[in-house]
A and B are shown apart, each in its own frame.
Chain A
Amino acid sequence: MGYLRAVSPFLGAIVLAFVMQFGVAPMFGAYYQKLLIDIGINIVLAVSLNLVNGFAGQFSIGHAAFMAVGGYAAGAITYYGSFHVFGDALVHHGQGDVLFLAATLVGGCVAAVAGWVVGLPSLRLKGDYLAIVTLGFGEIVRVLLQLTDDVMFKRADIEAASVGTLALALGGALGFGGLPFYTSIVWTYFFAFTLLVIAVRLKTSGEGRAFLSVRENEIAASAMGIDTTRYKVRAFVLAAFFAGIAGSLFAHEIGTTLNPRELGFQKSFDIVIMVVLGGMGSISGAVLAAIVLTLLPEFLREAASYRMIIYALLLISMMILRPQGLFGVREVWELYRRPKVSRPQVRPPGSLP
């Protein structure tokens, strides 16, 4: 029975993803269905960045770069892979979905490796310095992607080209167009719910508390036997993996272009805002902030060009009025539970070990 408990939330994630697709989505038109996908992707981004910024307390502002790495890696696999398997880059449900899933997971892994490479040397840095390194990494990724060659679109050329050539044919500054649109509500929410299960399980386990201790006080954490560098790198790698997955979802979504500019500093900043607004360390806070901040620009179309100003003002007022974010480290369901005075609800434990 223990093993049923181990996997049932993950099965629940799959079921819920289908509920989102066939229960929730049909209530909305195509426009809102796309918004639902955007929300799901932003949930993945905010909750994963929260592992680094909120749980481990390391201020990273280059999350979109991991998204780009994962998105481009996955995109290259589905696009060029589709030519090899199907002869074109259209959507082929069934086999194509398997290809998409594999590409997405590979994209996540490539992003995770990037997270490890960036994380290992830079996590010895603190605060502002780490932020600058992650920012610099984002810019490097953007510039490198802009330097790539044009996308190939002739079947004969693609079949003749080597893997190395294809890996560099990512569209440059124009972006990587022509990817098959595999991203559906099911896929998006499957990954979003899976990440949520992982994040909640992490936060409520010894491993997750080790992340939190690093945020709270590094010196005390290491004095209690926590290998702080290791946990920081873990947070970074795990977050980068899911950013890569979000990148793949974004790349294969209808109505988006995979473009170095789209996944630059501004996108990273958007994600940081979600985490800061929701509360550093609050999973439900990050989810709520992702929902609100995805919908807000849609309902304030006219104000869209002032978005960065609004965000900046929002951020400044948050820092002044509620520096811990809307929920602080707590979850939504904990808000009314924490007593001011202690309650004598403790079950007296057994004898000492």
Chain B
Amino acid sequence: MSEPLLDVSGLSLAFGGLKAVTDFSLKLHKGELQALIGPNGAGKTTIFNLLTGVYRPQQGEVRLGGRLLNGLPTHKIAASGMARTFQNIRLFGDLTVLDNVRIACHLRARAGLFSALLRTPAHVAEEAAIREKAMALLEVFSLADRHAELSRNLPYGDQRRLEIARALGTEPKVLLLDEPAAGMNPQEKVALSELITLVRHRFGVTVLLIEHDMALVMKICERITVIDHGVTIASGSPLEVQGNPAVIEAYLGAPSAEGH
């Protein structure tokens, strides 16, 4: 197989005495959709925070397209092609839906502060292009007719979808989705899984998905990595993982696992 797009190896982080992530490795190839699952507090969000530079890894490496990302600040990691959503929604609440996406689009903009203040033709053209691009993204997520609303006034499910639209605004190579279906009802979840599949093909992004809903994960993912207490306990195709006794014990076996 070719070089993986995202190559994570031996990633570790402890908060004081708590080993949140231990020796985590993952290879994500271009175009793949993989899932990261595990019980609450397993360290999944922490892994996303390590990948995006919110936390610095104490050990291990993160490479995107061969480039080492360790130690880069979050905005540089975003610029190198990694975008994410947040489990606890972090929209720009007092800004409009459109502005949320436009801010993400700003990453690929070239006109600077002075051309903005002088309203140079290049700047005007770029602003128009950004608006067009943002509206097109909102269209995909059925949010276009709410573009003028403040994002905090959106219903919960719309907010989650706006988070994905915003992440796509940065034109990522790898998209990290942290429990995008959390708090959604079954119909919404089905719609979302279809949306993720659509987004993946339409935008050519590679996706790493954290999700609690096993049915959803089994249906749309090629490969699943299961972690518990920061340790990888299984990794493989949905079928392989489903049959793994360690997984059943740690996660699938627990009847309360769903709905966290």
Chain A residue contacts of B123, Cβ below 8 A:
205
| Cα separation A6 to B78 with both chains bound (whole Å) | 32
B78 touching A201, Cβ below 8 Å: no
B109 touching A216, Cβ below 8 Å: no
Contact-residue bracket for chain B: 35 or more
Is B208 an interface position by the 8 A CB rule?
no
Chain B residue contacts of A223, Cβ below 8 A:
52, 54, 74-75, 78, 83-84, 86, 90, 167
A221 touching B103, Cβ below 8 Å: yes
Chain A residue contacts of B148, Cβ below 8 A:
338-339, 342-343
A83 CB → nearest B CB, Å: 36
Is B219 an interface position by the 8 A CB rule?
no
Cross-chain pairs A/B with CB under 8 angstroms, 25 sampled: A2-B120, A6-B118, A198-B117, A201-B119, A206-B109, A209-B95, A209-B99, A212-B92, A212-B103, A216-B94, A217-B91, A223-B54, A223-B74, A224-B106, A224-B166, A225-B104, A225-B170, A226-B107, A227-B75, A328-B94, A338-B150, A339-B149, A342-B149, A349-B135, A353-B132
B120 touching A228, Cβ below 8 Å: no
B residues with CB within 8 A of A: 52, 54, 73-75, 78-79, 83-84, 86, 90-95, 99, 102-107, 109, 111-113, 116-121, 123-124, 126-127, 130, 132-133, 135-137, 139-140, 144-150, 166-167, 169-170, 202
A353 touching B136, Cβ below 8 Å: yes
B78 touching A225, Cβ below 8 Å: yes
Chain B residue contacts of A328, Cβ below 8 A:
94
B164 CB → nearest A CB, Å: 13
How many A residues face the partner with a CB closer than 8 A? 46
Q: Which residue on A lies nearest to B166, using beta carbons? A: A224
A residues with CB within 8 A of B: 2-3, 5-7, 198, 201-202, 205-210, 212-213, 216-217, 219-228, 234, 281, 328-329, 338-339, 342-353
Find B75's partner among A6, A201, A226, A345 (CB 8 Å cutoff): A226
B12 CB → nearest A CB, Å: 22
Interface of B is mostly: helix
Find B145's partner among A205, A220, A346 (CB 8 Å cutoff): A346
A210 touching B84, Cβ below 8 Å: no
Chain B residue contacts of A344, Cβ below 8 A:
145
| Cα separation A338 to B123 with both chains bound (whole Å) | 26
9 closest Cβ contacts across the A-B interface?
A225-B107, A2-B121, A216-B92, A225-B78, A205-B116, A220-B90, A222-B74, A206-B106, A349-B135
Chain B residue contacts of A345, Cβ below 8 A:
145
A284 CB → nearest B CB, Å: 16
| Cα separation A127 to B52 with both chains bound (whole Å) | 24
Question: Given A207-B112, A223-B78, A224-B169, are A349 and B95 neighbors across the interface (CB < 8 Å)?
Answer: no
| Cα separation A7 to B121 with both chains bound (whole Å) | 12
A348 touching B83, Cβ below 8 Å: no
Question: Given A205-B123, A225-B79, are A329 and B94 neighbors across the interface (CB < 8 Å)?
Answer: yes
B92 touching A217, Cβ below 8 Å: yes
| Cα separation A349 to B130 with both chains bound (whole Å) | 12
Question: Given A216-B95, A224-B107, are A209 and B54 neighbors across the interface (CB < 8 Å)?
Answer: no
